[in-house]
Amino acid sequence: MKRLIEWPVRLVLMVFGFLFVFNLPSLIGIGNTLTLHPDTFWKYVQENIQQLIQFGDTSYIDLFNEQSLPEGYAYTISIFASSLVAVIVFGLLAAMFVHIMPKKIGGFIKRGINFFEGVPDLMVIFIIQFFVITLYRETGLKFLQLYGVFGARPYVVPVVTVSFLPAMLFAQFIIKVLEEEKVKDYVQYSRAKGLSSLRILIVHMLRNTFPLFILQLRTSIWVILSNIFLIEFLFTLPGLTGILQLIVMRGGSFLGLVICLLLFILPLLVIEVLSLFAIKAVNRKESASI
């Protein structure tokens, strides 16, 4: 019952957040002095609420048809899904290598992950752009495409760029969780029985920490979505960000804006549902251990 009330309330608060951010420019007047225009702001808010209630303005439908919303959204989701898979695979492999390799090699991998995790997003984008352009200039190879112009839909460079930092963060988290897990009694007991480190890791440790991985994926998805928004803008990719920009630039329907934003954060809503089950699993595990 609590969840049935919580989700509609969160959705309403989300829409009101969209209302505030979308109409914020009408509230603040910037000239010789900073002035506030609450009357103008409230007027636009009322108009937007009316659009949401009456569904009278259908101009956004023409824009969606013009920009091929299903294709653009499918492209954005394909980048998101590929990036998420890359983050999970890299994080698991990096953590497994740190766990099963000798301590010196594992420490070297951890230091490398900690170093790259602190690199700013824009620097990663610049380095990858510089690498692709230099590779083409020196070798003439053009198998890596940067920009989504003339109908192009690049995948490799956007996925690598979007997933780079989230992969480092996810790997860092899994390494920390597994280090805490390996000192627990069941791991020591498994070693005493003669089980290999790899078998203990895959069969027992990863399974027991799986709910924590799901919870951490919420943070990873936030970072991935913010990176996708940035990458689609900088690389002129034909995804959902371009349609969102057109709605804002043309002063289009607020309902169309809300639809685009809800589509954009749909993966977050899905992971929230999965996180609820993960939290229950963690609570059951803690209760059993007590």
Give the per-residue pLDDT at 179. Answer: 85
pLDDT at 244 over 50: yes
- pTM over the 0.85 mark: no
Report how far residue 233's alpha carbon sits from residue 249's, in angstroms, rounded to the nearest whole number. 14
Q: Write down the mean pLDDT value for the chain.
A: 79
The pLDDT of residue 252: 62
Q: Is the pLDDT of residue 288 over 50?
A: no
Say which range, 1-5, 21-25, 49-53, 179-183, has the weakest mean pLDDT: 1-5
Say whether pLDDT at 1 is over 60.
no
Give pLDDT tens digits for 119-148: 787 888 888 888 888 887 777 667 677 776
Here the tokens at position 213 are 């991985």
208: pLDDT strictly greater than 90: no
| Confidence category of residue 287, pLDDT binned at 50, 70, 90 | very low
pLDDT tens, 169-187? 999 999 888 888 887 888 8
β-strands 34-36, 28-30 pairing: antiparallel
More confident residue, 215 or 169: 169
Confidence bin at 83 (pLDDT 50/70/90)? very high
Q: State the average pLDDT over residues 19-45.
A: 74
The CATH fold of domain 55-289 = MetI-like fold (1.10.3720)
CA-closest candidate to residue 264, choices 121, 52, 76? 76
Q: What is the dihedral of CA 68, 73, 76, 81, to 10 degrees?
A: -140
pLDDT on residue 289: 47
Task: Give residue 90's pLDDT.
Answer: 92
pLDDT tops 80 at residue 114: yes
CA distances from 28 to 14, 16, 25 (A): 22, 18, 6
- By C-alpha distance, which of 249, 109, 252 is closest to 179? 109
Q: Residue 149: what pLDDT?
A: 67
Contact predicate 98/106, CB 8 Å: yes
Q: Of the ranges 88-102, 115-129, 202-216, which is most confident? A: 88-102
